[in-house]
Amino acid sequence: MAKKKSKPTVVNNIESVNMEIDYDKLAEAIVKAQEKAEEQKNLQELRDEIEVEKLSVCEAFKMFVAIISKKAKSNGTMTSGFLGGIMSLFFNILAIFGVGLIVVIIVSAIATVKEFIWMWESVSFNIFSISLYCTATIITAIISFIFRAVANEIEKEKDRNYIIAVFSAVVAFVALVISVIDIIKGVI
């Protein structure tokens, strides 16, 4: 059976056309387009990995000469990789500092507890001191774990804009801490 074409109707000099859309075919086309885009993205990532792995000594030398002579085309991966590496190192150092601080807190707590005098008058103070040491240790451990997680995340990040934004935020925070320390020094 042949479909009958619907005749356009004219109402007040406005032409109206009855169009039928096959939504199933439209949905299939959209899904296929998304799958193809994802496949192309994965293929490009695989190509990039293969290109890095196949870099020979001669090609590395050519790349070195191109960078020195400013003839190399850059897509910002060196900058984002360098800034990402610096920030990853910074957060790893903060995590290591946190672990060292945990050790200092524990050693200090042990030394303090050994010198406690357990009399009825000082029991509440002793328990408060122990709970303060425990709280400081737990908070420092959580912050150290967060710093380590941030370092791992930044190390794996490839988005240049994200890395530059995080780098700017870290630099601004460090500047804020330095200015607060300077203000406190000026007051004291």
pLDDT higher for 71 or 99?
99
What pLDDT is recorded for position 54?
54
What pLDDT is recorded for position 61?
67
Which whole-number Å values give the CA distances from 71 to 59, 65, 74, 81, 102, in the listed order?
14, 8, 9, 20, 50
What pLDDT is recorded for position 25?
78
What pLDDT is recorded for position 85?
86
What pLDDT is recorded for position 60?
62
Domain borders along the chain are 22-68, 77-187
What pLDDT is recorded for position 16?
57
Mean pLDDT of 76-85: 76
Question: What pLDDT, in 10s, does the model give residues 116-161?
Answer: 777 777 788 888 888 999 999 999 999 999 999 999 998 888 788 8
How many C-beta atoms lie closer than 10 Å to residue 145's C-beta?
A: 13
The interaxial angle of helices 160-187 and 77-114, nearest 10 deg, is: 40
Whether residue 104 has pLDDT greater than 70: yes
Task: Report the chain's mean pLDDT, rounded to a whole number.
Answer: 79
Mean pLDDT of 104-125: 84
Whether residue 84 has pLDDT greater than 90: no
What pLDDT is recorded for position 32?
84
Mean pLDDT of 63-88: 72
User: Which DSSP state fits 118?
Assistant: -
Question: What pLDDT, in 10s, does the model give residues 43-75?
Answer: 777 666 555 545 566 666 666 666 676 665 666
Whether residue 112 has pLDDT greater than 80: yes
**Distance in angstroms (rounded) separating the CA atoms of residues 92 and 62:** 34
pLDDT higher for 101 or 83?
101
pLDDT higher for 91 or 63?
91
Contact 155, 85 (CB under 8 A): yes
